Amino acid sequence: MKPNIKNIAVLTSGGDAPGMNACIRAVVRTGIYNGINMFGVFQGYQGLIDNNIIPMDARSVSNIIHLGGTILKTARCLSFKTDEGMDLAFENLKAHNIDALVVIGGDGTFTGARRFAQRHQVNVIGVPGTIDNDLYGSDFTLGYDTAINTVIEAIDKIRDTADSHDRLFFVEVMGRDSGCIALRSAIASGSEAVLLPEKATSIDELVKQLEIGAATKKSSSIVIVSEGHKQGGAYDIAKRVKEKFNHYDTKVTILGHLQRGGSPSSFDRILGSRLGYAAVNELLKGNTQKMVGLRGNEIALTSLDEALTAHTFKLENDLLEMTKVLSI
């Protein structure tokens, strides 16, 4: 039996990602179009606990589709991990007569949503919003495409100065457990090597690869380092490489949170809109404790259990091979 949903709230949680505002806009307007009263929760799960919940109308989300970050703000909330915190959040939802939640975020957000839904039988749909692209069930997550474009733009500028001075640059990008940003950025920027959390690469292997480039008169080299690589961060790796290979002047750039910001790409604006639209419609169909994602070019549902426990996004074998072949 379909639930009689009359009031839906939307929140963003965990790390911000470009495209979240496009998704919020789509959630709010799709709900209103279907006669639903819409609410926004400020600062994620902390806002549920603090009762920081406000009604939203169609004008509440005007002129936000192009903005990075999230107009609803976001926070990491330790108290939501406790039974007492969840119980207080549920009481606040009941006070507003909210029947369902759309939660936009990554694995931490979904972990909280799953436990909340199981404890209080809340109708909930998750939207994958993380630049790391590391949730099972969606080929792309919100913010991933924009983050890659940001990295590529930075590396293009670094390449200019690297070529001018015969330099070796180590560029560290985000990705503690996922090398998705690093791998695609390496292909798109023409980098000489990439170090990924999922693939063991020794310092000796990296040095050998750089020596081949130097022997064929490369004027510069760029190595992209995913922050979660087993050999350490870019500074540590650069220091160890320099001890064995001192052909170039060596520099390090940490892109850091630069990758989270900026106006979302057209892809992320459209993806956020599609996923937000789908999230509301799936709730109205009676689906709950699911994630809406993109597979191929179709919207697909994945249970929150599967999204969190199945194997994370696997790196494409052809891209892995290309980083070696195209860097000669």
Note if 132 is an active site residue.
yes
CB within 8 Å of 318: residues ≥ 6 apart: none
Parallel, antiparallel, or unpaired: how do β-strands 7-12 and 37-41 relate?
parallel
Residue for token pair 């969606």: 138
- Which residues have C-beta within 8 Å of that of residue 59, sequence separation ≥ 6? none
The active-site residue out of 16, 99, 132, 134 is 132
- β-partners of residue 103 are 11, 126
Report the Cα 98 to chain-centroid distance in Å: 27
| DSSP-based three-state secondary structure for 120 | helix
Beta strands in the chain (DSSP E): 7-12, 37-41, 53-56, 100-105, 123-128, 167-173, 193-195, 221-226, 249-254, 290-295, 298-303
What is the C-alpha separation between 272 and 19, in angstroms, rounded? 5
Q: How crowded is residue 90: how many other Cβ atoms within 10 Å of its Cβ?
A: 17
Catalytic annotation, residues: 132
